[in-house]
Chain A
Amino acid sequence: MSAGSGFTRRGFLRVLAVTGGALVVGIPARAWAQQDGREDLAILGDSWTALNAFVRVEPNGRVIIGARTPDMGQGTRTSLPRIIADEMDADWAQVTVTPLPLGVEDDQGTPRWLYGPQSAGGSTSIPDAWRDLRQAGAAARWLLVQAAAARTGLPPDQLRTEAGWVITPDARRLGYGELAADAGKLSLPDAGVALKSPQAYRLIGQAARGVDVPAIVTGQQKFGYDHYWGDGLIAMIVRCPYFDGELDHLDAGAALAIEGVEQVLPLPAMPAGTLLGRGPLGAGVAVLARDTWSALKGRAALDVRWKSRSGGTASTTALEGQAERVLKGAATTLVRRNGDFAHAFRTAARRIQAQYTVPFVAHATMEPQNCLVRIDPDRAYLMAATQTPRSAFDVVRQITGLDAGQISIEMPRIGGGFGRRLDNDYVAEAVLLAKAVGKPIKLQWTREDDLGHDVYRPFGVHALAAGVDRKGHIVAWRQHLASTSKLWRRGVPDDRLWTSELYPDDPPAGMVANLELAWFALDFPLPRGNWRAPGHTANAFAVQSFLDEIAHATRQDPLRLRLALLGAPRLLPYASHGGPTLDTGRLANVLQLAAQRIGWSSRAPAGRGRGLACHFTFGGYVAHAFEVSVSGGKLAIHRAVAAADVGRVIDPNGVDAQISGGTLDALSTALNLAITVRDGAVVQQNFPDYPLARMAEMPREVEVIQVPSQADPAGAGEMGVPSAAPALANAIFAATGVRLRRMPFKPGIARIG
């Protein structure tokens, strides 16, 4: 680890201020900001009085560390501060973590971001932190050592640090607290400071416990839904069920007569093409009341009718027909071509084809969407349960016209994200309402709002075809995907809509000589969005199921077929998120580890079957293996194994939770969940018809194997999802001989009997 790697540009860390003896350290822009052509951030953390730098050392030795990314269960309030604490050799028992608000200042009309990246999505919080937050810790440590050197008259390189102390060669100990005031008067060298060598890590790589857990288990932790602001009103919205609908009739008399209901406000549908929070907001009628119960009664009492502008005929049944038709025609976009698929397929010894269907699904975050907003003439305050505070900030600016310096956004702990809260439609609604009402408001979505008005994981039909030669090698591979692009209505040009649906370098691309990937656009009015490990969930299901089908059709062992396909360990170019390379050796390794753990080389117990699958997601390599049986139309998952190589592990306990949770999320979704549309509206209303798995359906344990790695950390939030569904389908096939090609699996399993 070289000194100050990635921080050789101007600025760097600097000591921001000293107040009451406290040392406050901030850090500058991350190096990639410039590479990516993103904003070049200025020096961070200069609002020290509000305790919003990353590190602060109090005279009593307490170390306060800011967590910049909202925590929705992925553990960043714990893992990010531990990266800083380790670099500065703080004593974790002396650390208090404080969640940071959106760090923004007005710089002559443009926002200046104070903390670097603060959004939580794409499993990027840890990789981002790895790039820049270590510097915050290293700088604090450097300053404290310099202060100790000045005080003792010893050269700094003779001093070492450990758990909140600077220690001299003759074992004298100077506490960080007593050095803080002096350290705060020093300035940092322009060239940045040296980072620790990995052998010296004391927290990184060690299991941690979530910093918010004691508050959660005692009911003290506040989520967005748990906040109340003085005389604020509760806002709830009756929503038009049609995607393209508008208000037909409204009589608010009965609702307004209910005690506690203060106002009823129609929210007209926005014109197509509006980009606010995510896209155009749909039509609704807001009920503003003094408490939730009054708002709910008001909602129920509204006499409201809606009409669909297009006749309200859209249905997912018709969409399936559209997919079948479209797949017979010409592709919208040829995504990748190697060699000559048509010829190789025609001349192959064996030809195999299969089609896989992936439904729309909803996010169903346990905490429904909510947002608190207060707008004063020259100021806006938000408590926004969002994964993307900067885009929430953009929404506020768009609606209010306020300056960057007049907008304050706090992010509470969030009851689940999974990509839903990358979109800020509910923030936009709350800001519009607060502005219209002139009082602070707290917008609360119901579960029905949430399931009926989500941005859904896209629907897709994957048509796969492969040619296999006499030796069992795959010589031709074709994936044709007809799907409703996630990027539709998001300001993305039509010829780029495929980019969220097929990733051109996903395996087996680069491993099969004759290969064709093509995307076929489907037209459907349901809004789409990011759902945990977006396109990977669908593609891994299709590709890893199909590989199994090829193995069985050609009498090969599914593990060996995959290993042969991955071939010798090497780096393949990978242009999508998670690149720039894919290491086939790391993917083969997790596959073998999962296979070993499940006992692949031995026979499964009678009546049971085993299946496996692997996938590369956003820089992480994960393989799943399951052992299952089906009897009486009921599935039992006897064993669940996940092997994960996500680079250097910051917190093994956190990675275990994410991979295990991702596995269960994938299983619950693959087994039970689909959003369907009939007569222009979503059919599913609430958990009874959108049945997340309960404890009894899920494996009792997920055996998570973590591969030790020195590679830069990749994050772990999404990698546990993609390979789980195909491994399950493959295990069900092994147990029963029935191939499930359509999610959700439940109805197919029931038919097995």
Chain B
Amino acid sequence: MPLPPPTPSASGIVPEPRRTGVELTVNGERYVHTGDPDMPLLWWLRDVLRLTGAKYGCGVGACGACTVLIDGKPARACLTPVLAARGRNVTTVEGLADPLGRLHPVQRAWIDEDVPQCGYCQAGQLLAAAELLARKPQPSDADIDAIPNLCRCGTYPRIRRAIRRAAAIASGEAP
């Protein structure tokens, strides 16, 4: 929605025009997007912010390579216009570690289990796993099965192991 135009105050001074872009927060930093508000979040993150962690795999919401979290919920950045993220908090894989740079349990577990092969799908897998663990700290096999993200290299068994390990790390059962 366009914001109302600035109006002159009683003093006759015209205030600086209000920024009319889309404001949103990415990995804790605030940004204003002034381009086409329909631009998919994926291409804005990549082409404009140069945050290339979220990947393009299909552009139709089918693969999950572009997964980001919006207010903690997984979203397909390829199908989400920037406008739809107005005023919200977007987390990409670059922002998964805490502000001190300590890795998220899923990142540690992914390293320990050496999950990636080509690695292209893994940002999406990590965010999907992080969201699952936030929702269900001790997920069942069926919960893990419900992750819809595609991995062309077939790393699913290691993803499963890494999610279990991340659950153990988060609950203090594993280092």
Which A residues lie at the B interface, using CB under 8 A?
72-75, 209-210, 212-214, 216-223, 225-226, 228, 234, 259, 291-293, 296, 364-368, 413-418, 444, 446-447, 653, 657-658, 660-665, 668, 686-688, 692, 694-696, 698-702
Contact = CB atoms under 8 A, between A and B. Distances in A.
B136 interface: no
A660 B157 CA distance: 8
Given A218-B94, A366-B120, A415-B120, 12 more contacts: A210-B114, A213-B111, A213-B119, A217-B103, A217-B106, A217-B126, A222-B52, A225-B55, A226-B52, A661-B154, A694-B150, A698-B157
Contact of A366 (B35, B54, B65): B65
30 contacts: A72-B118, A73-B118, A73-B119, A74-B117, A209-B114, A217-B93, A217-B107, A217-B111, A218-B96, A218-B97, A219-B53, A221-B119, A223-B52, A228-B47, A292-B43, A364-B152, A366-B120, A366-B152, A415-B119, A416-B120, A418-B152, A663-B154, A665-B154, A687-B57, A688-B62, A692-B150, A694-B148, A695-B145, A695-B148, A695-B156
Interface in B25-66: 35-36, 39-40, 43-44, 46-48, 50-60, 62-63, 65
Contacts of B154: 660-665, 668, 698
Interface in B101-135: 103, 106-107, 110-111, 114-123, 126
A418 to B, nearest CB: 8
Nearest to B110: A217
B118 A367 contact: yes
Given A221-B119, A415-B55, A664-B156, A213 B114 contact: yes
Nearest to B63: A687
B22 interface: no
A414 B152 contact: no
A694 B63 CA distance: 9
B144 interface: yes
Cβ-closest 9 pairs across A and B: A219-B53, A664-B154, A415-B120, A73-B118, A73-B117, A226-B52, A219-B93, A661-B154, A687-B62
A698 B59 CA distance: 24
A210 B116 contact: yes
Contacts of A72: 118
Contact of B117 (A291, A661, A688): A661
Interface in B126-175: 126, 141, 144-160
A692 to B, nearest CB: 5
Given A214-B111, A696-B145, A223 B160 contact: no
A531 B90 CA distance: 38
A234 B152 contact: no
A695 B144 contact: yes
Contacts of A444: 56
Interface residues of B, number: 62
A293 B53 CA distance: 18
B132 to A, nearest CB: 11
A661 B116 contact: no
Contact of A293 (B43, B52, B110, B155): B43
Contacts of B48: 291
Contacts of A219: 51-54, 92-94, 96, 123
Contacts of B36: 259, 293
B126 to A, nearest CB: 6
B57 A447 contact: yes
Contact of B155 (A414, A661, A668): A661
A741 B78 CA distance: 39
A657 B141 contact: no
Contacts of A415: 55, 118-121
A699 B157 contact: yes
A293 B39 contact: yes
A701 B122 contact: no
Contacts of B147: 694-695
A687 B120 contact: no
Contacts of A291: 43, 47-48
A665 B153 contact: yes
